[in-house]
Amino acid sequence: MSVYYVDKFLYQADRDPDLLDRYKTDPAGTVAEWEADWGTRLGNGTTVERTTWLTLTEEERRALVEHDYVELFGMGAHFFLSLTIYIGIYDEDYAAARGPLAFQLEMARRLTERWGGKEYPSVAV
């Protein structure tokens, strides 16, 4: 898994309200656009170097497109990045329907169902 690349996407989408909104409404298009452009950038100055070897695996791409944070966790994606981005996407809707912290509780429940009582996925390279 290219954990760095997945985390880079989560980090950038979480810190850019426009990118986050696009990721919420058009995940497939946003992931593809990011991977083709922003994902290749190595700097943020006036001269931007680009990488040609980083790419998402099919499994990573699918998990990002489907907002499958349980699978991303299992792949080794940074938990806090996943938590904050998906709170940004789902918290308002969940809170309106089920009350405060509803999404966080749902995320905890789903992660516990899959990972409770097991060793956490390794982040070793």
Identify the helix (H) or strand (E) that includes residue 97. helix 79-98
pTM for the model stands at 0.86
**pLDDT tens digits along 54-103:** 889 999 999 999 999 999 999 999 999 999 999 999 999 999 999 999 99
Q: 42 falls in which pLDDT band (50, 70, 90)?
A: confident
Domain boundaries, the chain: 3-115
All residues at 6 or more sequence positions from 87 whose CB lies less than 8 Å from its CB, including other chains: 103, 104
